[in-house]
Structure 1
Amino acid sequence: MTDMNNKIAFVTGAASGIGLSLCKMFLEKGAKVMMADIDEKGLLAAREELGGGDAIAHIVCDVAEYDSIKAAADETIRKFGKVHIVVNNAGVSLAGRPGQIYPQDWRWINDINMMGVAYGCEIFIPLILSHGEGGHVVNTASMAGHIATVGMGPYFATKFGVVGYSEALFHELKSVNIGVSCLCPTWVQSNIHNTADKSPMGDKTRERFKTSSSYMAVKDLIENGMSPDRYAALCGQSIEANRLYVFNDASARQSLVERHKSVLADYDACLEELKDL
């Protein structure tokens, strides 16, 4: 998508962080925006920050619920007539070691981080196809969708899922004039490290997460991370270039290289051993 002027964008997780900055970027490029978030108070404040006006609308939306996204899509069409860009950005995080993570928390993080993306695509892609003008899908993953470490298995699992799904969509949709970008940032200023507060297990998960070494390290890195406006500007350029992956951290490159070296080493070892089996 080389020109966003007069296009319609739908953005989840729009009340803060990367989502809010993406809304700002779309408006600066002449698009109209439907802002969606589960946090009604934050959503209203974010819309006011962006100046209101006819180019912006907002709706409360729980991405873990298919019907909630469907209602938001219907309202987007009612308000703006069509949609060209869907940004599946809402996400949460939590920490925990194997054997210590509640099943309710597994369902919670998967319903938001993975199924929220899938529902958004299933609902909005047909709407983009319907007008024949092309469009773009933006899914927020993370560098955690490419490199896993210790302490945050559920988060890594969902983000690896978003990366794989986005890559599949990239190949599936290129023939119908719909681009796909998968956002893979490391440290960008946001509230993602505090989202475990909303876990269905409440204080039990909150206490475990906020006393973990993973939380303390992540908290500092996020609070001192890249400006979300700067990252959103990069995302805008990537959408215009139809770039699949949107990275932002030079220091993570070697870790990505080492991971793929490890994958290929195991690949080659298995093929070598197969010769004797």
Structure 2
Amino acid sequence: MTDVAGRTAFITGGANGIGLGIARALAGAGAKIALVDLDESALDAAKDELSKTAEVFAAKLDVRDRDAYAEVAREVELALGCVSILVNNAGVAGGASLDKLNYELWDWGVDINFNGVFNGVRNFVPGMMQREEGGHVVNTASSAGLVANASGVLYHATKFGVVGMSEAMQIELAPHGIGVTVLCPGPVATGIVERTRASQPKISREMSRAQLRAAFEKHDAMKQFLEQGASPDDVGQMVVEAVKTNQLHLHTCASVKDLVVTRHKAIMDAMPA
């Protein structure tokens, strides 16, 4: 897709962090913007800001709610026209160690980070394919979707899933002129850690004082790590360029490069001769 001007872009998690950075960049490139998020106050602020330069639709949406998603999708296309740029960005960073990872927490993370991506695909991609007017899908994964480190089983599982889904989609959608980008950001200065902590299900198993202290220390370390990363607006500009050039893999930095090289070498070394 060489030009996004005049296109309708639908962005989940679009009122904060990377989603808002992408919305700003797409609006600056001339796209019409549909934002959905759970944070109503942030949605109002984002709509007020972006409406100065673009046509904007905003609605509260939990990407896990398939009926609500279908209704919002209809409303968006009535208001702004057919969606041809889909940004499946909504996500959470929560999790727990395996001895505390219960069904409720697992289902919550999978439903947002993985099923939420498919819910976006299901609502918009068939229409893109039928219209044969091109389009682009951006799925936000993570560098944690490329190599396992210390982000936890739940987060890695969902983000590896998004990477695999995106690569398979690229093969299927290319003949229809629809591009796919899987965004695998390293550290980005967003508030995702705080928002996740406020919304994730509680771990039912009691924790000792030492375990609680370790959990809080890990939380603070992750927050500081992300604050030193790229700005959401810079990532947004990267995404727009990737859409225009039909770039499949998009990395915001090379922080996991050595780990990825080591992983792929191990895979290749394990292949039969």
2:128 paired with 1:124? no
2:255 is paired with a residue whose SS is helix
Q: Tell me the TM-score normalized by structure 2.
A: 0.92
Q: Which residue of 2 aligns with 1:228?
A: 232
2:263 paired with 1:259? yes
After TM superposition, the runs of 4+ consecutive aligned structure 1 residues lying more than 6 A away are 202-207
Q: What's the CA shift for 1:53?
A: 6.4
Question: How many residues align structurally?
Answer: 269
- Note the 1:1-277 alignment, pairs <5 A: 1-52=1-52, 55-150=55-150, 152-194=152-194, 195-201=196-202, 211-267=215-271, 271=272
Q: What's the CA shift for 1:100?
A: 1.3
Greater mean deviation of Cα atoms: 191-200 or 6-15: 191-200
Q: What letter is aligned with 1:31?
A: A
Q: Which runs of 5+ in 1 are unaligned?
A: 273-277
Change (3 A) 1:17 1:151: closer
Q: What letter is aligned with 2:80?
A: F
Q: Which has the higher contact order (CA 8 A, sep 6+)?
A: 2
Alignment check: 8 A CA contact 2:102 2:203 kept: no
**Aligned equivalents of 2:86 and 2:225: distance in 1?**
28
**Aligned equivalents of 2:206 and 2:131: distance in 1?**
45
Aligned alpha-carbon RMSD (Å)? 2.1
Q: What letter is aligned with 1:139?
A: N
Structure 1 residues 176-220: Cα deviation after superposition (integer angstroms, max 9, x where no partner): 010000000010111221213201327979995982554233211
Q: What's the CA shift for 1:103?
A: 1.3
**Aligned equivalents of 1:39 and 1:61: distance in 2?**
9
Change (3 A) 1:162 1:224: same
Greater mean deviation of Cα atoms: 254-263 or 6-15: 254-263
Alignment check: 8 A CA contact 1:94 1:196 kept: yes
Q: Tell me the TM-score normalized by structure 1.
A: 0.91
Q: What's the CA shift for 1:150?
A: 3.0
Q: What's the CA shift for 1:151?
A: 5.0
Q: What's the CA shift for 1:90?
A: 0.1
**Aligned equivalents of 1:88 and 1:152: distance in 2?**
22
Alignment check: 8 A CA contact 1:145 1:184 kept: yes
Q: What's the CA shift for 1:242?
A: 0.5
Identity %: 37
2:170 is paired with a residue whose SS is helix
Change (3 A) 1:2 1:204: farther
Q: What letter is aligned with 1:118?
A: F
2:86 is paired with a residue whose SS is strand
Q: What letter is aligned with 1:232?
A: G
Change (3 A) 1:30 1:54: closer
Q: Which runs of 5+ in 2 are unaligned?
A: none
Alignment check: 8 A CA contact 1:210 1:216 kept: no
